[in-house]
């Protein structure tokens, strides 16, 4: 028996925007857009009725769906509360999702029991205090289950050192060669080792960290130009272009529709 979500409560809760390395999640009412595409894999789950997914003139109605990366589409949620998850396709989870659901199709239904249970589990976080660590663990469990993958366990001290260098507060993003030199291996070996241990290519990890840093600074300073520069972007238009290419939406559209913004850094 699947426990039903409290739709009225969810509708009245504050919109949540949650960012972590390799994915971001929006929970709230519709942020409908025109036809667009983006590099991230997209998961949409409705708390209420089915969502209309429009692609090439055809409409697919699904309660929980996954959309492949770089596919033109449009989602209509008709002001119903929903969850939007955008996942990096080059991550371990992204690869697992593609293999499981998107091998022969560009839009697929997700298992309804897993999706409904995820809604039930995450609903309390929308109505009570926001705990970013608990949300991160909950979303990770859901994505690992969906993608039939296992959690990453970093066992190589060299990768741990690289992560420490990349995440050092106030430190500019360093080049891959500099990182490789710091742990006495070749850049090619670092690229392979990092992907194997962390579950995402190092260049994509660096990009996500830049996005996370910019969003975190934006919450602190409320100044997009300053936040973008602190995050390692050339300027705010550079940040806006990168964000929209990855997620298909401008950051201002999401931020203005979100009353609660959380940035989780492992």
**Are residues 14 and 133 located together in one domain of the fold?**
yes
| pLDDT at site 140 | 93
Final residue of a domain: which of 127, 147, 167? 147
How would residue 14 be classed by pLDDT, with cut points 50, 70 and 90?
low
Residues 141, 169, single domain; the answer is: no
pLDDT at 37: 67
Q: Is the same domain home to 133 and 163?
A: no
Which of the four pLDDT bands, split at 50, 70 and 90, describes residue 157? very high
The whole-number average pLDDT for the span 136-158 is 92
Mean pLDDT of 144-170: 89
Query: Residue 216: pLDDT band by 50, 70, 90 thresholds?
Result: confident
At 15 the pLDDT is: 74
- Three-state SS for 85-148 is EEECCCCHHHHHHHHHHCCCCCEEECCHHHHHHHHHHHHHHHHCCCCHHHHHHHHHHHHHHHHC
Are residue 112 and residue 136 in the same domain, yes or no?
A: yes
Q: Using an 8 Å Cβ cutoff, are 39 and 23 in contact?
A: no
**253 falls within a domain:** no
Q: What pLDDT sits at residue 12? A: 53
What confidence score (pLDDT) does residue 31 get? 59
The pLDDT, as a whole number, for residue 173 is 63
Who's near 263: CB < 8 A, 6+ residues apart?
Answer: 19, 20, 132, 212, 215, 216, 219
* Residue 25 and residue 66 in one domain: yes
Chain mean pLDDT for the chain: 83
The answer on 32 and 129 residing in a single domain is yes
| Residue 266 located in a structural domain | no
Q: Are residues 118 and 242 in the same domain?
A: no
Please check whether residues 19 and 128 belong to one and the same domain: yes
Each residue's pLDDT tens digit, 102-119:
998 889 999 999 999 999
108 and 34 within one domain: yes
> What are the structure tokens assigned to 188, written together?
């090619």
Per-residue pLDDT at 3 exceeds 50: no
| Domain count across the chain | 2
Does 25 lie in the same domain as 100? yes
- Residues 178, 244 within the same domain: yes
Note the pLDDT of residue 7.
38
Q: What is the CATH number of the domain that holds 210?
A: 1.10.10.60
């Amino acid at each position: 028996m699947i426990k039903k979500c409290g739709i009225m409560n969810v509708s009245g809760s504050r919109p949540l925007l949650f960012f972590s390395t390799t994915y971001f999640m929006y929970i709230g009412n519709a942020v409908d857009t025109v036809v667009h595409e983006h590099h991230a894999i997209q998961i949409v789950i409705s708390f209420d009725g089915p969502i209309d997914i429009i692609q090439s003139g055809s409409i697919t109605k699904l309660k929980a769906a996954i959309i492949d990366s770089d596919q033109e589409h449009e989602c209509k949620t008709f002001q119903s509360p929903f969850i939007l998850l955008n996942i990096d396709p080059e991550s371990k989870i992204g690869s697992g999702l593609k293999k499981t659901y998107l091998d022969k199709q560009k839009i697929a239904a997700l298992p309804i029991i897993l999706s409904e249970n995820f809604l039930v589990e995450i609903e309390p976080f929308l109505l009570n205090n926001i705990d970013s660590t608990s949300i991160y663990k909950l979303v990770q469990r859901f994505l690992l289950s969906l993608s039939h993958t296992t959690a990453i366990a970093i066992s190589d001290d060299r990768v741990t050192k690289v992560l420490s260098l990349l995440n050092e507060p106030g430190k500019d993003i360093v080049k891959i060669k500099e990182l490789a030199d710091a742990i006495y291996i070749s850049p090619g070996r670092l690229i392979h080792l990092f992907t194997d241990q962390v579950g995402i290519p190092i260049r994509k990890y660096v990009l996500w960290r830049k996005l996370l840093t910019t969003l975190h600074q934006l919450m602190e300073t409320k100044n997009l130009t300053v936040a973008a520069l602190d995050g390692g972007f050339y300027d705010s238009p550079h940040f806006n272009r990168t964000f929209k290419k990855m997620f298909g939406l401008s950051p201002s559209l999401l931020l203005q529709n979100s009353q609660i913004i959380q940035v989780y850094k492992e």
